[in-house]
Amino acid sequence: MAAGTVRMAMRRALALRAGTTLVIGVSGGVDSLVLLHAAIALRDSLHLTVIAATLDHGLRADVGAADAAYVEQIAHAWGVLCVRGALDAARYREGLGVEAAARAARYDFLADAARQHQASVVAVGHHADDQAETVLAHLVRGAGLIGLASMRAESSMPGHADVRLLRPLLDVRRADIESYAQAHVLVPREDASNADITYTRNRIRHVMLPLLASFNTQIVPALVRLADNAAVESDFIESALDGVLDTGIAQFAETRVTIERRALCALAPALARRLIVRAAAHLAPSDDSGITVTHERVLAAVEQARDGDNGAMLDMGHGLHLHITHTRIIMQK
């Protein structure tokens, strides 16, 4: 039954991608190995070209290289091409922590692999338990609706709008994935760092989630539902904001966004706040929660728009500043 859950989820996610080239991000762990195996099982019926891509982040000495070599070996044994890369993620992007830098490096590598092989789609092995952990990670950081929406089953690749990112197993529990691996005698590589609770994600997995499960044994499905509800409602607000912007109340330029002050003040609070968020995201990159500016700064910006004096200034963070005039709100970097 668990193996069937994985197969159904994969077929549902990939049915609309029939006839395309699909790059699969594979670390060698059970999640990505099952993803690759299940995609290959659908290769002929959906006329897919499947390519494995594996990256050694340079964070675990020879172990990372051995994992990448193992993935390459498995891919060749299963009859698929493997794209292999290596880098030093700890020094990959200035100003990011190790976890965030490794994630950014991985997405950049997968996007490059997709372009190299004329693929517009990359699939990764995130599952329901990952989604629950992500919701909690964003929650403890103070994220709002955008952050609580967490991972999407399909989205654009972070930092690479031309590449689609699929998460076919996002509604599948980790236990079902592990059962699939056992049923097909898959032998994943074990990453010892997954037990290191100095990493935020591991602390959430090994400490916070078990504690919450003592209050609600169905905490993972509950958090997944929260993410789904947040995503649906966030998308509705975005759609409503698009309609507002069609009226011309804001002009988006490369280094500034100009908003009509009276029009902003007339908006419902959810739309006024989201317009400030949209303006900031246009001018500066967001963090892993999809947030460029903090909730407190968004509220301060809306308050200044309503009550601020002509010439008032507000530091929005990320090198952004808000300038209030009699008739306009100007955000610029």
Tokens in use for 36? 């690759």
Burial of 295 (0-12, 13-18, 19+ CB in 10 A): middle
Euclidean distance between CA atoms 316 and 256, whole angstroms: 13
Cβ atoms 10, 38 nearer than 8 A? yes
What is the distance between the alpha carbons of residues 305 and 12, in angstroms, rounded to a whole number?
Answer: 46
Structure-block tokens of residue 261: 């002050």
Looking at the domain covering 2-217, what would its CATH class be? alpha beta
SS3 165: strand
Q: Where are the domains of the chain?
A: 2-217, 247-332
CA–CA separation, 234 and 127 (whole Å): 21
Q: What angle do CA 276, 277, 278 make, to 5 degrees?
A: 90
Residues with Cβ within 8 Å of residue 169, at least 6 apart in sequence: 6, 9, 10, 31, 34, 35, 125, 126, 127, 128, 177
- Greatest CA separation found in the chain? 69
Q: Cα-Cα-Cα-Cα dihedral of 192, 194, 200, 203, to 10°? A: -100
pLDDT for 207-232, tens place per residue? 999 999 999 999 999 999 999 999 99
User: What is residue 96's predicted lDDT score, i.e. its pLDDT?
Assistant: 65
Whole-angstrom distance, CA of residue 173 vs CA of residue 175: 5
Which tokens belong to 138? Answer: 């964003």
What separation in angstroms does the CA of 38 have from each of 46, 94, 120? 12, 37, 19
CATH of the structural domain 247-332, one choice from 3.30.420.40, 3.40.50.2300, 3.30.465.60, 1.10.357.140:
3.30.465.60
Give the pLDDT of the chain (333 residues) as one tens digit per residue: 567 899 999 999 999 899 999 999 999 999 999 999 999 999 999 999 999 999 988 777 778 889 999 999 999 999 999 999 988 877 776 666 777 778 888 999 999 999 999 998 999 999 999 999 999 998 988 888 888 999 999 999 988 989 999 999 999 999 999 999 999 999 999 877 777 787 788 999 999 999 999 999 999 999 999 999 999 999 999 999 999 999 999 999 999 999 999 999 999 999 999 999 999 999 986 655 456 788 889 999 999 999 999 999 999 988 999 999 999 999 998
Q: What is the pLDDT of residue 287?
A: 57
Beta strand 121-123 with 160-166: parallel, antiparallel or unpaired?
Answer: parallel
Q: For residue 40, how many other CB atoms are within 10 A of its CB? A: 17
Joined tokens for residue 311 = 């010439």
